C-alpha cells in the first residue's frame, strides 16, 4: 500500500549554504575497496519506490515547491547568449507565477542556482545581483574532462574570478575504469584547492563508469578528497541520472557522514524533466538521508525543462485545469 509522504515546510526560501564544508580526509584505500553494490537488490529497491510513496493535493504542492527551491536552472547550449541567460535568470528569481505563489501562500521562492558555461558567468552574476542566488559554472573540460590538466585547473580559477560561487567539475573517467583511485583522489583534491571558497560539485558521469560498484567507490574517493557535492552526470552521456545510481550515491553519502560527521550534498542531473520524477528523487532522499538533505545547500536537481512541468502541475493544483506547456517557458 502506498504511503503518503509528509509535506515539508516550504513557506520561505532557506539560505543557500548553511552547512560547514566537507574538508575531506586522507585517502583510505581499505574503506574504498570495501564499497560494493548488489545490482539486483539496488534495482529492486529503486523499482518499488514510486509505488510505495504517494503525495497528493496540498502535500504534493508542498513537495513540488521544495523541488523548485532545489533546482540548478541550467543552460549549456553552444548558442547561449547574454540575452538568453538574462531571461533564464529572471525565471530563476521568479520560478513560479506570482498569482500561483499567492494562491499557495508562498513567498520568496527561488531556484537553488543558475548553472552556465564560463562565458556566461558574468552576465548571470549581473542579472542575479542582490538575490543571493549563486551562479554555478561547469568546468574542467566539461563534459569529457579530457583537456590538459593545467588548463582544467586554470579554467576553475578563471570561473571563480568571474564570480562563480559553485564549480561543477568532471572527473577523469579513465581513473575509475582502470582502478586508479589514488589518481582520482589527487585530481579531485587539486580541483577542490583550485576552487578556493567556491563550492565544488564532482560530476561522476555514472553512465560511463561501467558498474554500480565503480559508482560507489568513485563517490567515496571524491568525498574523501573534499567534494562538497557529488553529482551523477553531465547530462551529455547516453545514460544520466537514474534511481539505482542515486541509491548507491546516497548510501555512500550516508556512510561518509556516519564515519566523519561531514554532510556532502547530492545532485542528480540529466533526464529529469517531469514533476513526478522529482517527487521520486525527493522521496528517496528523505528515506536514505533524512530531512536535513531536503534543502538546497545539500540537494540539487540539474535540470532545464523540469521547472516548466512543475509550474504546470502547481497551476493544476490551484485551478483544477492543465495548461499548455508553452505557457510555462523557462527563458
* Residues acting as catalytic residues: 168, 231, 267
CB 8 within 8 A of CB 291: yes
User: Which residues are within 8 A (CB) of 331 and not within 5 positions of it... i.e. 6 or more apart?
Assistant: 75, 84, 85, 87, 88, 90, 91
Q: Which long-range contacts (CB under 8 A, 24 or more apart) does 218-221 make?
A: 218/171, 218/176, 218/184, 219/35, 219/248, 219/249, 219/252, 219/253, 220/31, 220/32, 220/35, 220/252, 220/255, 220/256, 221/27, 221/32, 221/181, 221/184, 221/185, 221/188
Calculate the dihedral angle through the C-alpha atoms of 51, 35, 31, 193, rounding to the nearest 10 degrees. -80
Contact 273, 305 (CB under 8 A): yes
DSSP per residue, 237-287: SSS---HHHHHHHHHHHHHHHHHHS---EEE-BSS--SHHHHHHHHHHHHH
Give the side-chain half-sphere CA count within 13 A for 74: 26
49 CB contacts (<8 Å, ≥6 apart)? 243, 280, 283, 284, 287
Q: Return the closest-CA partner of residue 280 out of 45, 42, 6, 50.
A: 50
The single residue listed with the C-alpha cell 563517490 is 219
What gap in Å lies between CA 244 and CA 16, rounded to an integer? 27
Radius of gyration of the chain (CA): 19
Amino acid at each position: 500500500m502506498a504511503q503518503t509522504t509528509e509535506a515539508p515546510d516550504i513557506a520561505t526560501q532557506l539560505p543557500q549554504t548553511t552547512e560547514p564544508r566537507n574538508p575531506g580526509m586522507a585517502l583510505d584505500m581499505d574503506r574504498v575497496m570495501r564499497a560494493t553494490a548488489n545490482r539486483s537488490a539496488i534495482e529492486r529497491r529503486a523499482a518499488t519506490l514510486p509505488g510505495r510513496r504517494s503525495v497528493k493535493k496540498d502535500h504534493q504542492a508542498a513537495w513540488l515547491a521544495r523541488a523548485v527551491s532545489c533546482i540548478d536552472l541550467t543552460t549549456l547550449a553552444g548558442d547561449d547568449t547574454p540575452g538568453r541567460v538574462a531571461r533564464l535568470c529572471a525565471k530563476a528569481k521568479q520560478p513560479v507565477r506570482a498569482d500561483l505563489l499567492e494562491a499557495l501562500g508562498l513567498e520568496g521562492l527561488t531556484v537553488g542556482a543558475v548553472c552556465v558555461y564560463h562565458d556566461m558567468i558574468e552576465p548571470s552574476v549581473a542579472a542575479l545581483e542582490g538575490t543571493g542566488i549563486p551562479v554555478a559554472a561547469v568546468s574542467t573540460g566539461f563534459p569529457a574532462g579530457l583537456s590538459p590538466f593545467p588548463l582544467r585547473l586554470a579554467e576553475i580559477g578563471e570561473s571563480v574570478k568571474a564570480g562563480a560561487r559553485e564549480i561543477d567539475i568532471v572527473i577523469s573517467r579513465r581513473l575509475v575504469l582502470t582502478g586508479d583511485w589514488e589518481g582520482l583522489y589527487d585530481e579531485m583534491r587539486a580541483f577542490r584547492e583550485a576552487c578556493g571558497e567556491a563550492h565544488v560539485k564532482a560530476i561522476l558521469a555514472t553512465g560511463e563508469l561501467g558498474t554500480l560498484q565503480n559508482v560507489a567507490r568513485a563517490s567515496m574517493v571524491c568525498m574523501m578528497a573534499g567534494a562538497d557535492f557529488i553529482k551523477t552526470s553531465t547530462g551529455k552521456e547516453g545514460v544520466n541520472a537514474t534511481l539505482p545510481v542515486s541509491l548507491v550515491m546516497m548510501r555512500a553519502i550516508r556512510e561518509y557522514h556516519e564515519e566523519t560527521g561531514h554532510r556532502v550534498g547530492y545532485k542528480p542531473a540529466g533526464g529529469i524533466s517531469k514533476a513526478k520524477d522529482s517527487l521520486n528523487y525527493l522521496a528517496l532522499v528523505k528515506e536514505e538521508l533524512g530531512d536535513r538533505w531536503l534543502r538546497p545547500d545539500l540537494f540539487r536537481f540539474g535540470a532545464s525543462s523540469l521547472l516548466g512541468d512543475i509550474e504546470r502541475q502547481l497551476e493544476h493544483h490551484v485551478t483544477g485545469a492543465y495548461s499548455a506547456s508553452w505557457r510555462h517557458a523557462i527563458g
